[in-house]
């Protein structure tokens, strides 16, 4: 895995086309909202008909970089990939990098949330409900230069899930200092505190700002 260059050697992202290396409609919506003010023309890998590469990395950063490198090579454009997931303290940080796979094919996150709940219940009534979301962003240029960033948000899991907004595991996650789940709060409120926003703040400061 290639790590980011030291901050003084960060590469600036110029306005123009940026390919989003994702097929997840929820992620794409949030990423586009975060990038909208910066004069970038975004198109997704799905819209270009590119398949998803095999994600066989051992970390969120590694998997994000696999996707970004693949798309940059195939398109000749700068590519941005996101790899994110839910890490549950009492489950030894599972589902972690396998968060999407817990939802199966086609992606059924109701089933995935039920599995998290079921495995937590098996740990007993005293099992910790602490969890955090991780978002890794990998920005890759066609020449192979890459910049990586990782954001987090901590909170507690709830059951039953609440809310119709958001996606993935959002309905069962309440961030620290809040009472509503990620699927109950509005998009602007989530943007202010989410793991994806945390990672984007780092990317924007390093490569765009």
Active-site annotation, residues: 83
Ligand-binding annotation for 24, yes or no, is yes
> Is residue 23 annotated as involved in ligand binding?
yes
Residue 169 assigned ligand-binding role: yes
Helix (H, G, I), strand (E, B) or coil at 161: coil
Of 7, 9, 46, 14, give the one whose Cα is nearest residue 141. 14
Give the rounded distance of the alpha carbon of 14 from its chain centre.
Answer: 23
25 among annotated binding-site residues: yes
Please provide residue 16's backbone torsions phi and psi, each rounded to the nearest 5 degrees.
Answer: 145, -160
Instruction: Indicate the length of the chain as a whole number.
Output: 209
190 assigned to a ligand binding site: yes
Q: How far apart are CA 104 and CA 118, in angstroms?
A: 16
Q: Are 141 and 85 in contact (CB under 8 A)?
A: no
Q: Is 196 annotated as a binding residue?
A: yes
Which residue's structure tokens are 């390093």? 206
Please list the residues that pair with 156 across neighbouring strands: 130, 174
Q: 176: annotated binding-site residue?
A: no
32 assigned to a ligand binding site: no
The answer on whether 84 is annotated among ligand-binding residues is yes
Q: Tell me the chain's radius of gyration from C-alpha atoms.
A: 17
165 annotated as belonging to a binding site for a ligand: no
Q: Which structure tokens are listed for 59?
A: 């970390």
For residue 90, count other CB atoms closer than 10 A to its CB: 19
Going by the annotation, the residues of the binding site are: 22-27, 83-84, 167-170, 190, 195-196
Going by the annotation, the residues of the binding site for substrate are: 22-27, 84, 167-170, 190, 195-196
Going by the annotation, the residues of the binding site for Mg(2+) are: 83
């Amino acid at each position: 895995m290639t790590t980011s260059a030291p901050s003084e050697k960060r590469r600036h992202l110029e306005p123009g086309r940026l390919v989003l290396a994702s097929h997840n409609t929820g992620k794409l919506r949030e990423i586009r909202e975060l990038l909208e003010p910066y004069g970038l023309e975004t198109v997704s890998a799905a819209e270009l008909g590119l398949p998803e590469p095999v994600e066989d990395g051992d970390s969120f950063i590694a998997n994000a970089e696999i996707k970004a490198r693949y798309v940059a090579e195939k398109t000749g454009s700068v590519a941005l990939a996101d790899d994110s997931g839910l890490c549950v303290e009492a489950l030894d940080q599972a589902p972690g990098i396998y968060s999407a796979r817990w939802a199966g094919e086609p992606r059924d996150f109701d089933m995935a949330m039920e599995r998290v709940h079921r495995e937590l219940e098996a740990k007993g009534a005293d099992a910790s409900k602490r969890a955090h979301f991780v978002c890794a962003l990998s920005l890759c240029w066609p020449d192979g230069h890459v910049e990586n960033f990782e954001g987090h948000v901590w909170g507690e899991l709830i059951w039953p899930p609440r809310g119709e907004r958001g996606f993935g595991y959002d309905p069962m996650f309440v961030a620290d200092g809040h009472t509503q789940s990620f699927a109950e709060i509005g998009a602007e409120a989530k943007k202010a505190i989410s793991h994806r926003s945390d990672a984007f703040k780092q990317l924007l400061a390093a490569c765009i700002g």
